[in-house]
């Protein structure tokens, strides 16, 4: 991955992500900015959360798990690698760690913890906060190569692993009802998500099912074959709906561009132009 700005300045949902009844599941890493609320559980490779992040279910990490100060987990934490737990973290269930456990002061784990490796109880540095502040400073002074190396180490990238991380920005809310961020949102291909999506701009990939509405201040794009089970609204942006995509609701925007065989089940309100692309056969 190459970053030219703070990686927590955007909601990024990688290809194949699913929001199931109890958990948000992805093949890659999960990075969550400070003071965010994730009402699902989380399942991924490595799970890294900033200060004061709230989880509504289990955390299941195949690799490492890092939780900074004042995080709150409503159920269990299961870690296949090492765990780094900041001070005053609260876990309502149990914690099981296959590797080493580095745990801070005043941590409360209601149903106990166990680790197969070393257990170190101390007041660790708030790792995620430090790393992202350091990363931001590197980007500000133009040291993009150094920032790239830091990110690679942070998410433990391996040569044979291509999965992009799931990134939830600071102060976000992710729930079965709504995904609310004040940043752009990018959703990959073949995703299945529940909840209304609220963001600055929204880019949805191919063959997704979004069970909720899309609302943005700026532009919205919907990829080929995607289904949006709700309305699509933008305050001052344009909307592009690609081939075979379907909006099962109303569309409100500035200008609207529809690909071949795209469908809108509800009403259309566009202050600007409405453009309908045709297939090559129709053009002939």
User: Could you give the CA distance from residue 4 to residue 2 in angstroms, rounded to a whole number?
Assistant: 7
Run of H or E including 178 = strand 178-180
pLDDT tops 60 at residue 284: no
Cβ(124)–Cβ(106) below 8 Å:
no
Structure confidence by residue, pLDDT tens digits, 9-56:
899 999 999 997 788 999 999 999 999 999 999 999 999 999 999 999
Residue 138 has pLDDT above 70, yes or no: no
Question: Could you state, in order of their start, the residue ranges of all structural domains in the chain?
Answer: 1-170, 184-283
185 in Cβ contact with 203 (< 8 Å): yes
Of 119, 121, 127, the closest CA to residue 82 belongs to 119
| DSSP H or E segment with residue 233 | strand 232-234
Question: Around Cβ 278, how many Cβ atoms within 10 Å?
Answer: 10
SS3 147: helix
Asked whether the beta carbons of 238 and 254 are under 8 A apart, the reply is yes
- Residue 3 binned pLDDT confidence (cut-offs 50, 70, 90): very low
Model pTM above 0.85 = no
| Region of poorest pLDDT, from 109-123, 144-158, 210-224 | 144-158
pLDDT > 70: percent of the chain: 83
Q: What is the pLDDT of residues 114-133, one digit of tens each?
A: 999 888 776 544 455 556 56
Spatial distance between the Cα atoms of 151 and 67, rounded to a whole number of angstroms: 17
């Amino acid at each position: 991955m190459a970053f030219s700005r703070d990686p927590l300045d955007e909601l990024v949902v990688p290809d194949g992500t699913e929001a199931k009844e109890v958990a948000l599941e992805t093949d890659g890493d999960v990075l969550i900015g400070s003071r965010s609320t994730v009402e699902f559980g989380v399942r991924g490779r490595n799970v890294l959360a900033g200060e004061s992040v709230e989880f509504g279910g289990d955390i299941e990490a195949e690799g490492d798990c890092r939780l900074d100060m004042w995080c709150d987990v409503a159920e269990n934490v299961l870690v296949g690698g090492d765990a780094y737990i900041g001070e005053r973290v609260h876990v309502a269930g149990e914690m099981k760690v296959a590797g080493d456990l580095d745990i801070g002061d005043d941590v409360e784990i209601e149903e106990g913890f166990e680790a197969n490796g070393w257990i170190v109880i101390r007041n660790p540095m708030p790792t995620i906060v430090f790393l992202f502040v350091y990363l931001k400073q590197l980007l500000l002074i133009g040291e993009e190569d150094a920032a790239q190396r830091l990110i690679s180490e942070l998410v433990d990238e391996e040569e044979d692993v291509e999965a992009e991380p799931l990134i939830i920005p600071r102060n976000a809310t992710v729930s079965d009802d709504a995904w609310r961020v004040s940043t752009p949102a990018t959703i990959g291909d073949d995703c299945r998500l529940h909840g209304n999506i609220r963001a600055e701009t929204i880019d949805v990939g191919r063959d997704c099912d979004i069970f909720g509405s899309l609302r943005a201040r700026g532009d919205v794009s919907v990829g080929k074959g995607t289904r949006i089970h709700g309305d699509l609204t933008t305050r001052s942006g344009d909307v592009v709906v690609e081939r075979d995509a379907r909006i099962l609701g109303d569309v409100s925007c500035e200008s609207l561009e529809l690909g071949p065989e795209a469908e809108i089940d509800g009403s259309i309100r566009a202050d600007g132009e409405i453009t309908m692309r045709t297939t090559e056969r129709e053009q002939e």
